[in-house]
Structure 1
């Protein structure tokens, strides 16, 4: 170009791409604007004609005719020169920031992208409707027959019958799996008479519009938009997948009391009789890492391996309301001496876990559920709240149990209450050395008067958040003080260079990091490199690499 301000003539009728002006490493040609020569900013590119330019450097036509607005021509204008529009494109609803084409008589605006790549005027898809659908440029609201939601403009309309679709519902999946239901669900354009409630958002449904329903569960249905949410659906269309995936059993039954579990297939597990179960009170289940005496359990006939009967029956693959892909049950150590972190409650744990192996992005992010989060289902009933709870949305909310913001919550549809996963999975009842009775979760001051105090740390207890208390003695205890941050680790196993030991001795040792007596149920015991003396860390927080004084632990203990 002789002059930098000379405009490029209007591009050809080929499809254009919106690109960044920068050197192209794949070709010898740099991506400079053919109008001004600059290589900064963004513009349009035609790969067939090998030309490109900034929006402002292209000689767009002054007047165009648009097939969706045949009554009047559209004139090229700048958005800032008109103050009576809503500032959005009639079709894509994106803000009008560049040049646009506009009809002042009808207040009709189209941005450059929708003019260059217009939506098809007519569509025929037998799966959506048995007539041809025509794109109508209109501003009045309408109700989509596929999803039942009100749209504000531009539906695809059947000119032969009263049928309208959002553009986004044209290619709506027909048969899918969602993480809220065990069976496949299919899309229908009419649910039929009934008092329907959405299985995801739990709101009432209009049976005259489209939704997803289950052929095996006559009362189950889900809004189309709720069923296809990214946190609910895995994105797979299953209409042509006629066969269900065959699931492997978690164990082989030898007789009424003996099994061979897939996680311990070299030995036989035998059901422990009630008469001798008490003798294993301090043993823990290798799956959920909770005391085995809390439920019926199996024991290996040859080694110290325990499984609750409930844990032994956990499926090898399952869906969960917290994740949109199917999860695989994992066991054993992935990394020697390393604990795991649950993606949803953020608690560190050991034992079995459900992990997402069906999606590369989830594998890269290590999406993982501990045993407590993996067993959460709907409706979720908690004894400290009178109404059932559901995973209705993916929005952050304030947890009603701890008062903290939580990313993953269960919500009440009857009142304004939300429960974060970190609090929803707390043990309802626990034993602690500070009291001879069983402790249970509480909230509120109850009949107590005055300030409440924690009998472990001797700090104040806030009655507005949940805490542990003894119904017989009336003691109040902070949840963190009762459980610590290694409650779901296996005693006797090594973590972060030390052995996990139960804090049930006559005296409590001193932590070499925080220099306080270890007050939690478990602590780490290590051997000092320098003088071979025994040293202790009272919590994962103190021993974790990254703590501002972690050298006090890692530089002294034997990590072998």
Structure 2
């Protein structure tokens, strides 16, 4: 039993083991299946993951490509920027090098210029110029001047005290900015005076010595005189008490302004060029031909260079008005100017006599030939068509029409240098004008002076220095004179002829009065008279009271006396038949001037008969006639 049980137990054990094995196998199978499934799942997952990873990798690759592309683009862009930067840096570097090179050139040029200027300063022996340059370079605008060694002079760019009227201690003129000043000593110098050179080379007034430097024509240097004091300038003859310059070779001392005096000038009041001299070559007394005061023996002057001409003037008199003179650079120009002003009015000489006189000519003022004559064939009062005075021998006349000219009027220069202005005076011939000097209406010859002045021939013949019958001294024209005329009593506003020794004054109108005149009130010639002993006088023409101290016309045979304007009339210097073409008037046509009417003509304005000067329309179909006194031309 026990064996059976033992066997049963053994069988049961075997079954259990078998079951256990089956169980284990089953578990292994299940496990294997599970593992297989897990493996499959794992593989699927792996595949999925692999696919994901592949997709991810593809995405990453795309991103990587994109990134690489961007990186490449960035690298290209950076490379381009880097290249441009390098290029710009190179260009900037080149520009810097160019600027540096130019700067070095400019600095070198400036250094050379400064060195040249420094050498020039040393050559003109100016001790304070160097200090001035160095101090100004360092920002200090002051100089050490040899005239004021106590303190430096400080530059004043603007005048701070306008009410203070100080004078320059160099030139003596009123102080103005810019200037150098010492406030401690109240010492002032104009900037131009402070930097004035100690020497002036090649000056036009000294030609005896070699030229050292500079543009001036002076042939040796003037030296700045360091000590101030009163002196007489050897160039102009006037006193000075400021800066002076000396020429040790010629032993002359001059003002600063006189170092620049021109050596040769053409003065409008003289036909020839005049030259500057330091002293009189003639030991006899000579008077200035402008102011009539004596010129001292050792005084600078301007005198004529033509042999036999004794024209001489003070320096300050001749240079007072720069409109009246012209600086001549070379002496050969003098002869050229003289020839230019001697241009004749005679166009052509056709015939001459044995004495060489032109007996038949062509003149610019007339369309026909003119013939020389010494007397009139008829005893009639003919007037010169040039100056409007009565014809006297010798004269030229036209054989085809009533045209007459004095020989002196024929020979007038076509272009001349009139003493009133430096500009050329050109001779013209016109029907009517009003002279700007005597203020009379006139016809005939006149001179155009400049652009605006017109001078009749009577005024043009008056020299700037005259000897007048009504006065015992010489008279000279003074541009500044505004006194009353002793001839007519009218105040002169544009200058007048005056006496240098007394207060006698005459204007152009009185000096241009004819020396004789005819009037119907007297059968004899009337002559200008310059004084009257009568306490009360009357004009025998207008019967008005006359001032006995003023000029008048009188008869030496009869007791006739009259105002000059009453004797001559308003239109005594007009020729019959001249046309007033350039005069504004109310009539539509040109008018002609006549002294006497033929027949009985009534004035279109007042209705009275025209027995005096009148104007008549030149149109044959127009009957317009008017008295000159009725029509204000």
Q: Which residue of 1 aligns with 2:565?
A: 480
**C-alpha deviation, 1:529, in angstroms:** 13
Q: Which residue of 2 aligns with 1:321?
A: 419
Alignment of 1:146-185 (within 5 A): 146-158=235-247, 162-185=251-274
Alignment of 1:411-426 (within 5 A): 411-426=498-513
Q: Which residue of 2 aligns with 1:108?
A: 187
**C-alpha deviation, 1:423, in angstroms:** 1.1
Alignment of 1:72-471 (within 5 A): 72-74=151-153, 87-91=166-170, 93-96=172-175, 101-103=180-182, 106-111=185-190, 114=192, 118-129=195-206, 130=209, 131-136=220-225, 140-158=229-247, 162-192=251-281, 193-215=283-305, 216-217=307-308, 219-229=310-320, 230=322, 232-241=324-333, 243-244=335-336, 245-246=338-339, 247-251=342-346, 252=349, 254-256=351-353, 258-264=359-365, 266-272=367-373, 274=375, 276-279=377-380, 281=381, 283-292=382-391, 294-331=392-429, 333=430, 339-356=432-449, 362-363=450-451, 366-377=452-463, 379-391=465-477, 394-406=480-492, 407-446=494-533, 448-450=534-536, 452-471=537-556
Structure 1 residues 326 and 394, CA gap change in structure 2 (3 angstroms): farther
Any gaps of 5 or more consecutive residues in structure 1?
Answer: 1-13, 15-59, 357-361, 545-560
Which stretch of the first structure deviates more once superposed, 200-209 or 321-330?
Answer: 321-330
**C-alpha deviation, 1:68, in angstroms:** 4.7
Question: How far apart in 2 are the matches of 1:503 and 1:138?
Answer: 79
Task: Name the SS for the 2:525 alignment partner.
Answer: strand
Question: How far apart in 2 are the matches of 1:449 and 1:94?
Answer: 53
Structure 1 residues 238 and 368, CA gap change in structure 2 (3 angstroms): farther
**Cα distance per residue 1:150-195 (max 9 Å; x no partner):** 2232222346664222233223222222233332222222323332
Structure 1 residues 217 and 454, CA gap change in structure 2 (3 angstroms): same
Structure 1 residues 140 and 525, CA gap change in structure 2 (3 angstroms): farther
Task: Name the SS for the 1:260 alignment partner.
Answer: strand
**C-alpha deviation, 1:425, in angstroms:** 0.7
Question: How far apart in 2 are the matches of 1:128 and 1:437?
Answer: 59
Task: Name the SS for the 1:310 alignment partner.
Answer: helix
Task: Name the SS for the 1:315 alignment partner.
Answer: coil
Indicate if the aligned counterparts of 2:375 and 2:393 stay in contact, CA closer than 8 A: no
**C-alpha deviation, 1:289, in angstroms:** 2.0
Indicate if the aligned counterparts of 1:210 and 1:224 stay in contact, CA closer than 8 A: yes
Instruction: Tell which has more relative contact order, 1 or 2 (C-alpha 8 A, sep 6+).
Output: 1
Question: How far apart in 1 are the matches of 2:230 and 2:601?
Answer: 70
Question: How far apart in 2 are the matches of 1:479 and 1:166?
Answer: 51
Structure 1 residues 154 and 472, CA gap change in structure 2 (3 angstroms): same
**C-alpha deviation, 1:223, in angstroms:** 1.9
**C-alpha deviation, 1:81, in angstroms:** 6.9
Task: Name the SS for the 1:147 alignment partner.
Answer: coil
Higher Cα Rg: structure 1 or 2?
Answer: 2
Q: Which residue of 1 aligns with 2:63?
A: none
**Cα distance per residue 1:264-312 (max 9 Å; x no partner):** 5653212345361424x2x3322112232x4432211222221112211
Q: Which residue of 2 aligns with 1:498?
A: 591
**C-alpha deviation, 1:351, in angstroms:** 1.0
**C-alpha deviation, 1:352, in angstroms:** 1.0
**C-alpha deviation, 1:461, in angstroms:** 1.4
Q: Which residue of 2 aligns with 1:70?
A: 149
Which stretch of the first structure deviates more once superposed, 266-275 or 429-438?
Answer: 266-275
Which stretch of the first structure deviates more once superposed, 165-174 or 226-235?
Answer: 226-235
Which stretch of the first structure deviates more once superposed, 320-329 or 132-141?
Answer: 132-141
Any gaps of 5 or more consecutive residues in structure 2?
Answer: 1-109, 111-138, 210-219, 584-589
**Count of aligned pairs between the two proteins:** 462
TM, length-normalised to structure 1: 0.71
Structure 1 residues 241 and 99, CA gap change in structure 2 (3 angstroms): closer
Structure 1 residues 287 and 165, CA gap change in structure 2 (3 angstroms): same
Question: How far apart in 2 are the matches of 1:382 and 1:516?
Answer: 43
More helix by share: 2
**Cα distance per residue 1:424-477 (max 9 Å; x no partner):** 11112111223222222224333x453x22233332212222222233332332
**Cα distance per residue 1:293-338 (max 9 Å; x no partner):** x44322112222211122112222333333334422222x3xxx6x
TM, length-normalised to structure 2: 0.64
CA RMSD of aligned residues (A): 3.8
**Cα distance per residue 1:109-132 (max 9 Å; x no partner):** 235x648x8434432124334442
